[in-house]
Amino acid sequence: EFAREQRLEGDNAYNTRDERYGRQEARRGAAFRSLPPVLQLHLKRFEYEPSTGGMQKLQQEFRFPTTLRLRKFMAQGSGSPPPVYKLHAVLSHQGTASYGHYVAYVRPGCGGKWYKFDDTRVSEVPERAAVTEQFGGDHGKSGGFFGLREAPSAYMLTYVRQDLLPSADTEATREELPPAVRAAFEQDLAGSR
């Protein structure tokens, strides 16, 4: 909606504020000259409910792609890299506006494997769990965390520009990890053996 071209005509014609030209038919829209290496998309999942005077969570289904192609939103002749993005992370919430649980799903380097970060637990999960089951609506209903009945739903998506993926696909060595993170991973590894 934000970038969609809109025709300004009739009563909605562009007002030049100049008597010589008056109202003119025109087109209005937005196009990008360049896009960032990483897109952080925040999905509006909460809204004010006047009847209760509080916030409510929007539980409707919202489907999102693992590949985001944005060429049609680019200005002509922009000369920037092909604006194709790969889904790198999904931040998800299960619950209501008043309570719930947050989980992060990350695909390092946008490769094949997805990992679920759930408090102190990290586990490999299938893409379905990281993506499709985070659409909201009826997707992913399972009784959930502490018996929450609401389906989990993505509220933030992180996409990495595809032309940058080879450089983003490097793994950190153990020495590069902060000591507390390294200790937690080593403890998890020891516990899983």
Q: For residue range 119-138, list pLDDT tens digits in order.
A: 989 999 999 999 999 998 87
Which is it for strands 153-161 and 84-95: parallel, antiparallel or unpaired? antiparallel
Percent of the chain predicted with pLDDT > 90: 32
Percent of the chain predicted with pLDDT > 70: 85
pLDDT at residue 192, rounded to an integer: 64
Q: Is the pLDDT of residue 21 over 80?
A: yes
Beta bridge partner(s), residue 18:
none
pLDDT at residue 171, rounded to an integer: 64
User: Between 102 and 190, where is the model more confident?
Assistant: 102
Once rounded to an integer, what is the mean pLDDT over residues 43-54?
88
Where in the chain do CATH 3.90.70.10 domains reside? 31-166
User: Between 178 and 43, where is the model more confident?
Assistant: 43
Q: To the nearest whole number, what is the mean pLDDT of the chain?
A: 83
Q: Which CATH entry fits the domain spanning 31-166: 3.90.226.10, 3.40.109.10, 3.20.20.70, 3.90.70.10?
A: 3.90.70.10
Once rounded to an integer, what is the mean pLDDT over residues 157-169?
78
pTM of the predicted model as reported, rounded to 2 decimal places: 0.71
Once rounded to an integer, what is the mean pLDDT over residues 105-109?
88
On whether the CB atoms of residues 156 and 41 are closer than 8 A, the answer is yes
